[in-house]
């Protein structure tokens, strides 16, 4: 293609027309190479967000992003390798747990993770709350640790899908996160480039997720499975509930601390149930055993401390020191202004609050305050008395209005039935 004008490409998408592979490549690679400025790429992303993309455009976009950098070749690493990915939610610390649990049972987990996106947190930001933890490994370091420890979590290396790295950061601050084709191509380009044998995706659905409805979640799952098939990579999407925060802690350091407590056998909430479900799937695929047998192994490896030992081994290998994790110094107890059952939690609202007190980014270059966050004392379905604590908020420099926090909870006399934790599996 001639050096087609970026404005024409933006106009075409604004007018709901289909972009050719050449046009998409021109825009994406031009942006990666610094020839197309943020403001033009933002306009194109917004047009995609509003007008969507056909399957063919999404396949092409995935391929362009996948080919924008290196591909990780893990064929020289012995054993079964399974990658997992979550589409993001509030309080979602599953990667921190699944990698050591599954690796402690002999299935390797090579994991490249991202930073926070929109109101959702990111695994790399969470890991950075562990002083010393190195989140940018070279390919050689990544493979060495995968071989020796079996679990490794790193940020995307500079040259692994650089297109996604740059576009992801721009989407975060331009209101262009929640687009099905953009999410599908972002996730699948990274998963395909990271070389695992199989891919398990935890697709979060609900008011705290990037995807709010079951209809959109099914569309996204089917699209990712199709992309996986096209590239001969088995992809399994588990649709899970994100209409309340996962577990009790929200905020980088606080989430790491909850993960540690779970690995020590001290946490038995919805986070524990989801972890056991997902880990059983991963172990069953990795060892080619029945889910029920894998589940027994998963429960046992948490109980006997082997998963926690593997977590410590992984943290040590990456230079982290969990004894130095710090939470914010000011802790306020937020109490309910009435009695009743907690029927809904505005999960995105709580995610936004944590972001605003410093736990996430408003602009690409913001520095995170790792120690801030929220610890829920009550979850959906729980009863609360008037003046009883609903949550604790950990703040440092920025405070938050109590009324705004309380407005995230619907408290009613009658208890409503609770949504299931796992909705569906699409493969
Ligand atoms: N996770 C990703 O990696 N990309 C997205 O676009 C959304 C969630």
Q: At 27, which CATH number?
A: 1.20.970.10
Q: Which residue's structure tokens are 């410093």?
A: 358
Q: In this structure, what CATH number is given to the domain that contains residue 366?
A: 3.90.1170.30
What local confidence, expressed as pLDDT, does residue 357 receive? 94
Residue 93 CA to ligand 1 center (angstroms) comes to 15
Judge contact between 192 and 149, C-beta under 8 A.
Answer: no
| More confident call, 173 vs 179 | 179
Task: Please choose, from the candidates 132, 88, 134, 79, the residue with its C-alpha nearest in 3D space to the C-alpha of residue 110.
Answer: 79
Residues 155, 273, single domain; the answer is yes
pLDDT band, very low/low/confident/very high, at 174 (cuts 50, 70, 90)? very high
Q: pLDDT tens across 231-256, in order?
A: 988 899 999 999 999 999 999 999 99
Is 156 near ligand 1, meaning CB less than 6 Å away?
Answer: no
Average pLDDT for 322-343: 96
Average pLDDT for 383-396: 97
Q: Is residue 423 part of a domain?
A: no
What local confidence, expressed as pLDDT, does residue 41 receive? 97
Residues 102, 149, single domain; the answer is yes
Average pLDDT for 65-78: 92
Q: Is residue 280 part of a domain?
A: yes
Q: pLDDT tens across 82-111, in order?
A: 999 998 889 999 999 999 999 999 999 999
Two tokens, residue 204: 């979060």
Last residue of a domain, one of 273, 307, 323: 323
Is 181 near ligand 1, meaning CB less than 6 Å away?
Answer: no
| More confident call, 229 vs 361 | 229
Q: Which residues are tagged catalytic? A: 85, 164, 171, 186, 190
Residues 120, 228, single domain; the answer is yes
Distance CA 284, CA 256 (A): 26
pLDDT at 3 over 60: no
> Residues near 263 by Cβ (< 8 Å), separated by ≥ 6?
97, 100, 101, 302, 307, 308, 311
Residues 270, 376, single domain; the answer is no
> Residues near 193 by Cβ (< 8 Å), separated by ≥ 6?
66, 69, 70, 71, 72, 160, 161
Last residue of a domain, one of 323, 338, 363: 323
Is 186 near ligand 1, meaning CB less than 6 Å away?
Answer: yes
pLDDT at 81 over 80: yes
What local confidence, expressed as pLDDT, does residue 218 receive? 97
Is 225 near ligand 1, meaning CB less than 6 Å away?
Answer: no
pLDDT band, very low/low/confident/very high, at 21 (cuts 50, 70, 90)? very high
Residues 87, 228, single domain; the answer is yes
Ligand 1 atom 3 nearest Cα? 187
What local confidence, expressed as pLDDT, does residue 7 receive? 95
Average pLDDT for 123-141: 94
What mean pLDDT is reported for the chain?
94
* Angle, CA 62 vertex, CA 59 and CA 64 arms, to 5°: 110
Is 88 near ligand 1, meaning CB less than 6 Å away?
Answer: yes
Residues 44, 108, single domain; the answer is no
What local confidence, expressed as pLDDT, does residue 93 receive? 95
Q: pLDDT tens across 38-61, in order?
A: 999 999 999 999 999 999 999 999
What local confidence, expressed as pLDDT, does residue 402 receive? 85
Is 187 near ligand 1, meaning CB less than 6 Å away?
Answer: yes
Residue of 180, 186, 235 to test ligand 1 pocket, by largest number of atoms within 8 Å of CB:
186
Q: CB under 8 Å, gap of 24 or more: what pairs does 195-198 form?
A: 195/71, 195/72, 195/73, 195/74, 195/75, 195/81, 195/110, 196/74, 196/81, 196/82, 196/83, 196/110, 196/233, 197/80, 197/81, 197/82, 198/80, 198/82, 198/83, 198/233, 198/234, 198/235, 198/236, 198/285
Domain span at residue 199?
82-323
Q: Mean pLDDT lowest for which of 152-156, 217-221, 310-314?
A: 152-156
Residue 67 CA to ligand 1 center (angstroms) comes to 18
Residues 212, 308, single domain; the answer is yes
* Dihedrals phi, psi of 230, to nearest 5 degrees: -55, -35
Residue 187 CA to ligand 1 center (angstroms) comes to 5
Two tokens, residue 9: 């490409």
Residues 295, 228, single domain; the answer is yes
What local confidence, expressed as pLDDT, does residue 65 receive? 97
């Amino acid at each position: 293609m001639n050096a087609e004008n970026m404005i024409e490409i933006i106009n075409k998408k604004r007018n709901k027309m289909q972009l050719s592979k050449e046009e998409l490549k021109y825009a994406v690679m031009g942006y990666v190479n610094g020839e197309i400025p943020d403001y033009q790429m933002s306009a194109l992303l917004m047009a995609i967000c509003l007008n969507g993309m056909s399957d063919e455009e999404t396949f092409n976009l995935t391929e362009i992003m996948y080919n924008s950098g290196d591909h990780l070749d893990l064929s020289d690493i012995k054993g079964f390798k399974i990658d997992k990915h979550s589409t993001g939610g509030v309080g979602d610390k599953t990667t921190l747990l699944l990698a050591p649990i599954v690796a402690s049972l002999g299935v390797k987990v090579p994991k490249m993770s991202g930073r926070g996106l929109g109101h959702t947190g990111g695994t790399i930001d969470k890991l950075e709350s562990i002083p010393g933890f190195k989140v940018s490994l070279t390919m050689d370091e990544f493979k060495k640790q995968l071989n020796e420890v079996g679990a490794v979590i790193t940020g995307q290396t500079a040259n692994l899908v650089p297109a996604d790295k740059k576009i992801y950061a721009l989407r975060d601050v331009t209101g262009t996160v929640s687009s099905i084709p953009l999410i599908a191509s972002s996730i699948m380009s990274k998963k395909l480039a990271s070389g695992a044998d199989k891919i398990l995706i935890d697709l979060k659905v609900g008011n705290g997720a990037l995807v709010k409805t079951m209809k959109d979640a099914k569309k996204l799952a089917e699209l990712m499975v199709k992309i996986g098939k096209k590239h001969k990579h088995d992809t399994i999407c588990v649709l899970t509930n994100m209409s309340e925060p996962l577990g009790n802690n929200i905020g980088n350091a606080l989430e790491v601390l909850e993960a540690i407590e779970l690995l020590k056998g001290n946490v038995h909430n919805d986070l524990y149930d989801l972890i056991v479900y997902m880990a059983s799937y991963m172990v069953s695929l990795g060892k080619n055993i029945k889910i029920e047998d894998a589940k027994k192994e998963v429960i046992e490896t948490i109980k006997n401390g082997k998963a926690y030992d593997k977590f410590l081994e992984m943290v040590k290998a990456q230079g982290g020191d969990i004894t130095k994790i710090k939470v914010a110094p000011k802790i306020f107890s937020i109490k309910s202004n009435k009695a009743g059952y907690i029927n809904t939690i505005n999960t995105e609202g709580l995610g936004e609050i944590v972001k605003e007190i410093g736990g996430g980014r408003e602009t690409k270059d913001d520095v995170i305050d790792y120690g801030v966050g929220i610890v829920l004392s009550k979850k959906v379905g729980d009863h609360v008395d008037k003046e009883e604590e609903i949550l604790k908020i950990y703040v440092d420099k920025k405070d938050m209005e109590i009324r705004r926090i309380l407005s995230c909870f619907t408290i009613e006399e009658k208890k409503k039935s609770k949504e299931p934790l796992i909705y569906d599996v699409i493969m």
